[in-house]
Amino acid sequence: MSSEKSTESQPAAKTTTSTKTQKTTQKATKKKAAKKKAAKKKASQKVELPSLDYDDMREQLAEWYSHQQRELPWREIKDPYATWVSEIMLQQTRVATVIPYFLRFMERFPTVTELANADLDDVLAQWSGLGYYRRARHLHAGAQEVVERFGGELPANHKELLSIKGIGRYTAGAIASIAFDLPYPAVDGNVYRIFSRIACLDDPVNSPALHRTCEAIASQIVQGESPGDLTQAMMELGALVCTPKSPACLLCPVREHCKAYATGQTLAYPVPKKTTKVRDMTVQWAMLQRDEHILLVQRPADGLFAGLWELPGLYLPHPGPDHTNDLQAHLTSLGLIATLQPEPRHYQHTLSHRRMHIALYQSEAIEGSVSLPPDTFQWVQLDDHPNLPISSITRQVFTSLLREE
DSSP for 141-161, please give it: HHHHHHHHHHTTS--S-HHHH
Q: What is the mean pLDDT of residues 276-295?
A: 89
Q: Is the pLDDT of residue 394 over 50?
A: yes
Alpha-carbon span 352 to 230, nearest angstrom: 31
Which CATH number belongs to the domain containing residue 194 in this structure? 1.10.340.30
Whether 101 and 127 map to the same domain: the answer is yes
In a domain, 3, yes or no: no
Of 268, 289, 312, which residue is a domain's last? Answer: 268
- Residue 301 phi/psi, 5° resolution? -70, -20
Of the pLDDT bands very low, low, confident and very high (cuts 50, 70, 90), residue 42 is: very low
Of the pLDDT bands very low, low, confident and very high (cuts 50, 70, 90), residue 43 is: very low
Please, which residues bridge with residue 281 across strands? 356
In a domain, 33, yes or no: no
Q: What is the mean pLDDT of residues 19-34?
A: 61
**Closest to 182 in 3D by CA, of 145, 219, 149:** 219
pLDDT at 9: 44
Whether 221 and 315 map to the same domain: the answer is no
Which range marks the domain in which residue 176 is found? 54-268
Does residue 132 contact residue 305 with C-beta atoms inside 8 Å? no
Active site residue 107: no
Neighbour tally for 228: CB within 10 Å: 22
Whether 188 and 309 map to the same domain: the answer is no
Cα–Cα–Cα angle for 247, 253, 255, nearest 5°?
60
pLDDT at 286: 93
Cα–Cα–Cα angle for 284, 288, 292, nearest 5°?
145
Name the more confident of 271 and 387.
271
Alpha-carbon span 165 to 168, nearest angstrom: 8
**Closest to 120 in 3D by CA, of 324, 248, 333, 298:** 298
Q: Is the pLDDT of residue 150 over 90?
A: yes
Name the more confident of 85 and 11.
85
DSSP for residue 253: T
Whether 240 and 325 map to the same domain: the answer is no
Whether 251 and 285 map to the same domain: the answer is no
Whether 293 and 244 map to the same domain: the answer is no
Percent of the chain with pLDDT over 70: 87
Encode pLDDT of 318-354 as tens digits: 655 656 788 888 999 999 988 888 889 999 998 878 8
pLDDT at 109: 97
Q: Which residues contact 131 (CB under 8 A, 6 or more apart)?
A: 92, 93, 351, 391, 392
Of the pLDDT bands very low, low, confident and very high (cuts 50, 70, 90), residue 404 is: confident
CA distances from 160 to 163, 302, 386 (A): 5, 27, 37
Of 241, 268, 295, which residue is a domain's last? Answer: 268
Whether 259 and 317 map to the same domain: the answer is no
Encode pLDDT of 286-302 as tens digits: 999 988 899 999 998 88
In a domain, 158, yes or no: yes
Whether 341 and 219 map to the same domain: the answer is no
Q: How many domains would you assign to the chain?
A: 2
> Among 8-17, 186-195, 285-294, which stretch is predicted with the lowest mean pLDDT?
8-17
In a domain, 284, yes or no: yes
Q: Which residues contact 230 (CB under 8 A, 6 or more apart)?
A: 58, 61, 62, 65, 177, 221, 222, 224
In a domain, 16, yes or no: no
Encode pLDDT of 355-369 as tens digits: 899 999 998 888 999
Of 268, 294, 328, which residue is a domain's last? Answer: 268
In a domain, 75, yes or no: yes
Q: Is the pLDDT of residue 377 over 60?
A: yes
Whether 256 and 122 map to the same domain: the answer is yes
| Active-site residue (options: 48, 71, 87, 153) | 87
Which CATH number belongs to the domain containing residue 367 in this structure? 3.90.79.10
In a domain, 115, yes or no: yes
pLDDT at 326: 85
Parallel, antiparallel or unpaired: strands 336-340 and 354-368: antiparallel
Per the prediction, the chain carries an average pLDDT of 87
pLDDT at 89: 96
Whether 247 and 149 map to the same domain: the answer is yes
> Among 33-47, 95-109, 217-231, 384-398, which stretch is predicted with the lowest mean pLDDT?
33-47
Whether 172 and 298 map to the same domain: the answer is no
CA distances from 88 to 102, 151, 256 (A): 10, 21, 33
pLDDT at 6: 43
Give the orientation angle of helix 227-240 with respect to helix 54-68, to 10 degrees: 70
Whether 193 and 314 map to the same domain: the answer is no
Q: Which residues contact 253 (CB under 8 A, 6 or more apart)?
A: 60, 61, 63, 64, 237
Encode pLDDT of 60-87 as tens digits: 999 999 999 999 999 998 899 999 999 9
Of the pLDDT bands very low, low, confident and very high (cuts 50, 70, 90), residue 114 is: very high
In a domain, 24, yes or no: no
